[in-house]
Amino acid sequence: MTNKNTPIDYSIVNKKIKETGLPAIGNATIREIVRLVNNIEKETGEKFIRMEMGVPGINPPEVGMKGEIEALNNGVASKYPMIEGVPALKKEVSRFIKLFLNIEVDEMGCLPTVGSMMGSMAAFLVANRSDHNKKGTLFIDPGFPVQKQQCKVLGHQYESFDVYNYRGDKLKDKLESYLKKGTVSSILYSNPNNPSWICFSEKELQTIGELATKYDAIVIEDLAYFGMDFRTDYSQPGTAPYQPTVARYTENYIFLISSSKAFSYAGQRVGTMAISNYLFNRKYPDLKRYYSSDGFGYSMIYGALYALSAGVSHSAQYGLAAMLKAANDGEFNFVDSVKLYGKRAATMKKIFIENGFKIVYDKDEEKPLADGFYFTISYQGLSGAQLLEELLYYGISAITLDITGSERTEGLRACVSQVNESQFADLEYRVKRFNEDHS
Ligand SMILES: Cc1ncc(COP(=O)(O)O)c(C=O)c1O
């Protein structure tokens, strides 16, 4: 970096980066960037455009909090919740899946988890142990780095590929090249995708589903951003169009439905996992190596979920149940409540593009990408790691795509959730200065 006259005091940023002790700030994890930027903000008194972490920037819905308070007043805090979930939540999850995905999953297979994070952990614990010939998870990347960390700590093998060059018709051969080895227990992707915000087409989901059936792999469909492809209105219960899902093409699926983003409920750490009826009832003799039963659903509840946390916070389950009920009854449009992320993304992308940046993942096959919770950027001549570091001097923080399994090493992920509209003028000024100094 040659220019030392930067919007944020050059010497302080430089000093704080050095103080992290990290060999390359571009490879830092999300939480490391958060800490660094907190430190720079504190010392300079300047507010950053914070795009590194996907924290919801919206208040939690009143209906959820009311549900929790009511449950607490009824004394649930002293009681252990059932591991498989309180009946009120199981009922509303099953209804939600019917009304917003148009898929039938019995209440039995609708299970609360401590956030989707626990959902993926539990899914790996059972899916990846169901067949001794299989080895672990195939991640369709880019993706959420912590899920690979979960596989690592469990000692499960995993493979991954960046889907950037394998959209549409090209997906089949690529996916099959992994599956035909016969070692893939589970396939995981998020849709809409964190970090790229690509959304799979029906054709792509069909490919994934049909190949999962053919090679008997279990799809873990991470719907952390349920309904948030704002190009299509998925917000009306019981009315098409429905959120796209692999469940239309295979019976081998587990949904992970987080409440963190779509319901702005990240703090309560409550989400749900829903196991297809077929998979829930299926027997896998190899599960007996780890669990007392060969039943998939039984092993999930009384093996994995019991071992992990013996249930989910009682009141949080009631909070989520209340929000889902309101959504199912058409009284709470959860999609509308988060639409402002899409509007923010549209403005922010425009500011970056007008100042020399490019959107890295820019298309769903032929369709322009949706504006949503995340977008990806690059700047000519700089690697993602360099770009991340240089942008810090301009008061802008993000993470590299590198750490998400993306092969687009030039790119950064930008999250819009913490950027307030009142900061757009600052963003424009800083990005403009960056471009002037680098072009
Ligand atoms: C794709 C994806 N999956 C899962 C999660 C975790 O969700 P939760 O907060 O429900 O654990 C996130 C959060 O950022 C995510 O982006």
Burial of 173 (0-12, 13-18, 19+ CB in 10 A): exposed
Q: The tokens of 94 are what?
A: 């099953």
Q: How far apart are CA 92 and CA 18, in angstroms?
A: 50
User: Are the beta carbons of 47 and 423 closer than 8 angstroms?
Assistant: yes
Best mutation site among 30, 34, 117 for ligand 1 pocket (most ligand atoms within 8 Å of CB) = 117
Please tell me the predicted confidence (pLDDT) of residue 2. Answer: 64
Ligand 1 pocket residue status of 60, Cβ below 6 Å: no
Which ranges in the chain are annotated with CATH 3.90.1150.100?
10-46+339-438
* Model pTM above 0.85: yes
Cα–ligand 1 centroid distance for 429 (angstroms): 32
Ligand 1 pocket residue status of 144, Cβ below 6 Å: yes
Q: For the domain covering 10-46+339-438, report its CATH number.
A: 3.90.1150.100
CA nearest neighbour of 109 among 84, 126, 87: 84
Please tell me the predicted confidence (pLDDT) of residue 405. Answer: 93
Which ranges in the chain are annotated with CATH 3.40.640.10?
62-334
Ligand 1 pocket residue status of 119, Cβ below 6 Å: no
- For residue 110, give every residue at least 6 positions away whose Cβ sits within 8 Å of its Cβ, in sequence order, or none: 85, 89, 90, 93, 94, 97, 272, 273, 274
pLDDT-derived band of residue 1, with 50, 70 and 90 as boundaries? Answer: low
Residue 3 scores a pLDDT above 80: no
Ligand 1 pocket residue status of 109, Cβ below 6 Å: no
Question: How do residues 15-24 score in pLDDT, each as one tens digit?
Answer: 999 999 988 8
Ligand 1 pocket residue status of 54, Cβ below 6 Å: yes
For 203-211, what is the mean pLDDT? 98
Residue 28 scores a pLDDT above 90: no
Question: How do residues 403-433 score in pLDDT, each as one tens digit?
Answer: 899 999 999 999 999 999 999 999 999 999 9
Ligand 1 pocket residue status of 224, Cβ below 6 Å: yes
Cα–ligand 1 centroid distance for 67 (angstroms): 23
Cα–ligand 1 centroid distance for 222 (angstroms): 8
Residue identifier of the C-alpha nearest atom 12 of ligand 1: 224
Residue identifier of the C-alpha nearest atom 7 of ligand 1: 116
Q: The tokens of 12 are what?
A: 């302080």
Ligand 1 pocket residue status of 142, Cβ below 6 Å: no
Burial code (b: 16+ CB inside 10 Å, e: under 16) for 4-29 equals eebbbbeebbbebbeeeeeeebbebe
End-to-end Cα, the chain, rounded Å: 13
pLDDT-derived band of residue 25, with 50, 70 and 90 as boundaries? Answer: confident
Ligand 1 pocket residue status of 400, Cβ below 6 Å: no
Cα–ligand 1 centroid distance for 331 (angstroms): 25
Question: How do residues 236-257 score in pLDDT, each as one tens digit?
Answer: 999 999 999 999 999 999 999 9
For 313-336, what is the mean pLDDT? 98
For 360-385, what is the mean pLDDT? 95
| Cross-strand partners of 396 | 49
Q: What is the mean pLDDT of the chain?
A: 96
Judged by DSSP in three states, 110 sits in strand
Cα–ligand 1 centroid distance for 116 (angstroms): 6
Q: For the domain covering 62-334, report its CATH number.
A: 3.40.640.10
Q: What are the helix (H) ranges across 155-276?
A: 170-179, 202-214
For 397-408, what is the mean pLDDT? 93
Amino acid at 93: V
pLDDT-derived band of residue 321, with 50, 70 and 90 as boundaries? Answer: very high
